[in-house]
Amino acid sequence: MRLLAPGLVTIFLFQFIGIWNNFFLPMVMLQSQKLYPITLGLFNWYSSVNQRPELQQPIITGSFVSVVPLIVLFLLLQRFWKTGLAAGSIK
C-alpha cells in the first residue's frame, strides 16, 4: 500500500488540476455569472479590459490567487513522491 501512494497522489493532482482549470464545461453549462469558476471569471474580465483598463490590476491579482492553491497542494503532497521514490529503490 505504501508503494501505491505516489501513484494515487499523482492521479489526484492531475485530476485536481484538470477540474481546477476547467474552462469549456462551466462556460457551456452555467447560466449565472455568480457560479462561474475563477478561470472563467478572469476570462470575462480580461475580455472587457479594452473598455475598462482599470481591471488590469485585479486580473493580475486574480491570476496569482488562482495559482496559489495549486502551489500549496503540490508543496503539501511533495513528500509522497519523495518517499515513494526512495521506497522503490530499497529491496
Helix pair 5-20, 56-89: axis angle to 10 deg: 170
Mean model confidence pLDDT for the chain: 84
pLDDT tens, position by position, 17-56:
988 888 888 889 988 888 888 888 888 888 888 888 888 8
**Mean pLDDT, to the nearest integer, of 63-70?**
91
Could you write out the DSSP letters of every residue in the chain? -TTTHHHHHHHHHHHHHHHHT--HHHHHH---GGG--HHHHHHHHHHTTTT-GGGHHHHHHHHHHHHHHHHHHHHHHHHHHHHHHHHHH--
Total structural domains within the chain? 1
Domain with 11, as residue range(s), is: 5-89
Residue 82 clears pLDDT 80, i.e. is over it: no
Band of pLDDT at residue 84, cut at 50, 70 and 90: low
Query: Is the entire prediction scored with pTM above 0.85?
Result: no
